[in-house]
């Protein structure tokens, strides 16, 4: 379907045309995305319940994992139900206000996915490199010094990106995406979008890329400290490698999705939309599995909770 040019002043509603090239096969996408959505909701809900209900899991690291579960539980709710209904019933309309609100929360929660990994890296740094001062450094008043600046950074940058997108004069109404992704909406603009492109790119490098660099640097220091001290670094290595792998995969998907709008590389529209969905959806599905399984204390309580649940269901 070709984009439809209409009067600029009439732009109050848009059509989300993600995966439109698939034609009659488009409804089939409901199955894999619904399965991923169900896994994300159930796994994050279980992880959050176990951590909140067990006082023994109220350590700083587990609280950060619970924070990640909250983000991973909330993020899909802002775009997946609407996307699934679009696949099944071809409901594709969205208002401009709804589009901007959706964009704000999707990008804000997406930013916190990498920021939470950064806070986890700081926790590991304090625990391994300064163990005698760990509880002092991770006390809430001290740790807020690391939380508040990144919180302000994320809210400010996302607010600027969304505000600039909302101020554009839009000449088309067909958004080539399944939700209101920033660059997918900016592509509909009549005039120059140089500022939007620049600010969007800056936000990518100041949030996920900057977070990854700090995480990598902190783990280099951790590895060096473990090697110098001669201590067994197996547990530390497992935690650090997990964070690096998750962040590397997520960052690769993010950069592929963002740069595909700016570099004319002939990437098919469906592939571009898929990467944009997965950079948000991938962590939400796999973070609870990774951290729930690899964290021994959490894994034991999850197994105990599931055992009790199945025992009660048989009564």
What is the block-wise mean pLDDT of the chain (315 residues), using blocks of 10 residues?
44 84 87 93 92 88 90 92 91 90 93 89 86 85 89 96 91 87 87 88 90 86 77 58 73 73 68 83 83 79 82 70
- The whole-angstrom distance between residue 310's C-alpha and the CA centroid of its chain comes to 31
Q: Which helix (H) or strand (E) holds 226?
A: helix 210-229
pLDDT at 282: 82
Closest to 37 measured CA to CA, from 2, 1, 88, 99: 88
Which residues fall within 8 angstroms of residue 305, CB to CB, at 6 or more apart? 46, 49, 50
Beta strand spans in 80-131 (E): 93-95
Alpha-carbon distances, residue 297 vs 163, 247, 283 (angstroms): 43, 23, 21
- pLDDT, one tens digit per residue, over 207-256 is 988 988 888 888 888 888 777 766 555 555 666 677 677 777 777 777 77
pLDDT at 315: 65
**How much is the pTM?**
0.86
Q: Which helix (H) or strand (E) holds 235?
A: helix 234-260
- Compute, in degrees rounded to 10, the torsion defined by CA atoms 11, 204, 157, 45: 90
Domains of the chain: 11-304 (1.20.1070.10)
Cβ atoms of residues 240 and 124 within 8 Å: yes
């Amino acid at each position: 379907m070709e984009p439809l040019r209409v009067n600029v002043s009439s732009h109050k509603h848009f059509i989300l045309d993600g995966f439109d090239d698939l034609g009659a096969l488009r409804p089939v996408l409901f199955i894999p995305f619904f399965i991923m959505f169900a896994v994300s909701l159930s796994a994050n809900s279980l992880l959050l319940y176990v951590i909140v209900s067990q006082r023994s899991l109220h350590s700083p690291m587990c609280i950060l994992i619970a924070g990640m579960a909250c983000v991973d539980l909330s993020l899909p709710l802002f775009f997946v139900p609407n996307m699934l209904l679009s696949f099944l019933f071809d409901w594709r309309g969205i208002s401009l206000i709804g589009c901007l609100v959706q964009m704000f929360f999707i990008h804000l929660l997406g930013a916190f996915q990498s920021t939470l990994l950064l806070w986890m890296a700081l926790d590991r740094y304090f625990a391994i490199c300064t163990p005698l001062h760990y509880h002092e450094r991770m006390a809430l008043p001290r740790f807020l010094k690391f939380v508040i600046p990144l919180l302000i950074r994320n809210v400010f940058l996302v607010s600027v990106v969304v505000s600039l997108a909302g101020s554009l004069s839009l000449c088309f109404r067909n958004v080539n995406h399944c939700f209101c992704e920033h660059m997918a909406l900016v592509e509909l603009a009549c005039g120059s979008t140089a500022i939007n492109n620049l600010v969007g790119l800056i936000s990518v490098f100041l949030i996920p890329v900057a977070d990854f660099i700090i995480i990598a640097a902190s783990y280099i220091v951790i590895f060096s400290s473990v090697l110098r001290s001669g201590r067994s670094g197996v547990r530390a290595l497992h935690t650090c490698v997990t964070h690096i792998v998750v962040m590397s995969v997520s960052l690769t998907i993010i950069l592929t999705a963002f740069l595909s709008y700016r570099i004319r590389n002939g990437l098919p529209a469906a592939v571009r939309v898929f990467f944009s969905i997965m950079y948000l959806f991938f962590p939400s599905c796999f973070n609870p599995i990774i951290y729930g399984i690899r964290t021994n204390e959490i894994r034991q309580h999850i197994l105990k909770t599931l055992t009790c649940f199945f025992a009660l269901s048989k009564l």
